[in-house]
């Protein structure tokens, strides 16, 4: 059985007020469940930076492969300097939860999170129930809401009004 390892590391200074305030602002802006999600994105960015640093001395073809992989997930990277300048907000903007809000499918990040966890969102015809899913650029246009029985409060009100009008007419 494969051992599971943490995908993040906790901050070295747990009670650093400026960091706590910044994380709270990010948590609210992106509608995250907890700060662990921020730490996971920081970890992903650190690995991207580490790969970019290792690619400095490698040939151009290997660098282009890294840049193409980063462009597929939607990060705008054309050089090693761009890869080193990435931050956690760039990565958080590529999450399914945030993409739903930017495409105006959901009103707020919390609404987007609820739609995703309730299995109402399709990406390329597949149900995705993880708000942290990183949406590739080519699949961004295939995001849709699952078709189904829609019972809207407005529809129910209009049906009740029609029935009342029929009763009055008789």
Q: How many domains does the chain have?
A: 2
Residue 164: the pLDDT is 64
pLDDT in tens, 52-84: 999 999 899 999 999 999 999 999 999 999 999
What's the pLDDT score for residue 148? 79
Predicted local confidence at residue 163, as pLDDT? 58
Domain boundary among 51, 79, 94: 94
Q: How far apart are CA 98 and CA 41, in angstroms?
A: 13
- Residue 7, Cα to own-chain centre: how many angstroms? 17
Structural domain for 40, as ranges: 7-94
Same domain, 61 and 117: no
Rounded to the nearest integer, the mean pLDDT of the chain is: 90
Whether 128 and 151 map to the same domain: the answer is yes
Do 113 and 60 share a domain, yes or no?
no
Q: For 79-88, how does the pLDDT look when each residue is reduced to its tens digit (9 = 90+)? A: 999 999 999 9
Q: Do the domain assignments include residue 170? A: no
99 neighbors 135 (Cβ within 8 angstroms): yes
Q: What is the pTM of this model?
A: 0.81
User: Does some domain include residue 169?
Assistant: no
Structural domain contains residue 139:
yes
Which residues, other chains included, contact 27 with Cβ-Cβ below 8 Å and sequence gap of 6+? 34, 35, 37, 38
Which domain-ending residue is among 44, 61, 94?
94
pLDDT tens digits for 9-20? 999 999 999 999
């Amino acid at each position: 059985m494969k051992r599971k390892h943490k995908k993040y590391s906790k901050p070295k200074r747990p009670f650093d007020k400026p960091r706590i305030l910044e994380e709270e602002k990010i948590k609210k802006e992106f509608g995250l469940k907890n700060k662990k999600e921020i730490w996971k994105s920081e970890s992903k960015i650190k690995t991207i930076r580490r790969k970019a640093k290792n690619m400095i001395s490698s040939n151009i073809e290997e660098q282009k492969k890294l840049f193409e992989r980063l462009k597929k997930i939607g990060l705008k990277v054309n050089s090693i300097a761009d890869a080193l300048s990435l931050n956690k907000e760039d990565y958080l903007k590529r999450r399914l939860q945030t993409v739903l809000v930017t495409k105006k499918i959901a009103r707020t990040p919390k609404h987007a999170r609820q739609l995703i966890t309730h299995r109402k969102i399709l990406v390329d015809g597949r149900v995705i129930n993880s708000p942290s899913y990183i949406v590739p650029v080519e699949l961004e246009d295939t995001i849709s809401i699952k078709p189904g029985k829609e019972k809207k409060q407005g529809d129910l009100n209009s049906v009740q009004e029609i029935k009342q009008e029929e009763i009055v007419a008789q």
